[in-house]
Structure 1
Amino acid sequence: MRWILSAVALFALVGCGSSESAEPEAPASPSASASPTPAVTPEAASPTGAPEPQALSEFRCSAGEDGSPWTASGLLSNSGKDAATYQVSVYVGPLDGDTREVRTLRIDPINPGESDRFDLDDVPAGGDTCHVQVLRTP
């Protein structure tokens, strides 16, 4: 149950942390020929898909030596009948409702009955507890 709550809280975090504004900037001086600046798309979109924590095994999350960034790795297994694409998101720190940066990796389709290893470097850390979320994406 605790893992599910962590995953739900992490779900709200995924896609956050972009320093870009979603609002278009106004031109410095208006002119008749100026076209509006398009809105900036966030770096990481909100996740879409169904939580599938059972696809993850051999998960490891550890801090680097002497303050270097955290890393995470694991094995994703597709037990479904069709090929599946997965999204793995990892965050190190408290689940306190604040917006935090999350490291996300999209895994290419895995065929039914097969597995694929993944490695994530430079996982953002704001504490010492590692949280992971696995989504099966459309």
Structure 2
Amino acid sequence: MKIAIGNDHVALEMKLKIKEYLQEKGIAVTDVGTDSPERCDYPIYGEKVANLVAHKEADCGILICGTGVGISLSANKVNGIRACICSEPYSARLSKQHNNTNILAFGARVVGIELAKMIVDEWLNAEYEGGRHQNRIDMISEIEKRNS
């Protein structure tokens, strides 16, 4: 598995910890986030991760900014991306099971590192259930096509 990870300056420390956590699990990580504590713009990194996922250069992505909101909004502008911001593990698991999310986002100012690890684990260990959920995913894709 290969995960793309991106962050802004606010989330630098958390990104480094999550990246290390993933690598310790044997997961390949492509880091396209900032490595600088200098102020930067999160949309740049949301788009970079989203493009890697959309073009199948990464299996999925993780985005981190102050709240997770802005960076996930940026990622969701890329066709084929279903980024979900999660501040607890239950939503992370269901976002994958029901919505087949391909990018997980959270906020470095919202969750601590241990909770972030739990959120990541629930999301990575969940599997898309398909079935009754596929019709809704197809509907989302149709909305995306109509508005491209």
Shorter-normalised TM range: under 0.3
Q: If each structure's strand is expressed as a fraction of its own residues, which one has the higher value?
A: 1
TM-score computed with the length of structure 1 as normaliser:
0.26
Q: Relative CO higher for 1 or 2, CA cutoff 8 Å, sep ≥ 6? A: 1
Q: If each structure's helix is expressed as a fraction of its own residues, which one has the higher value?
A: 2
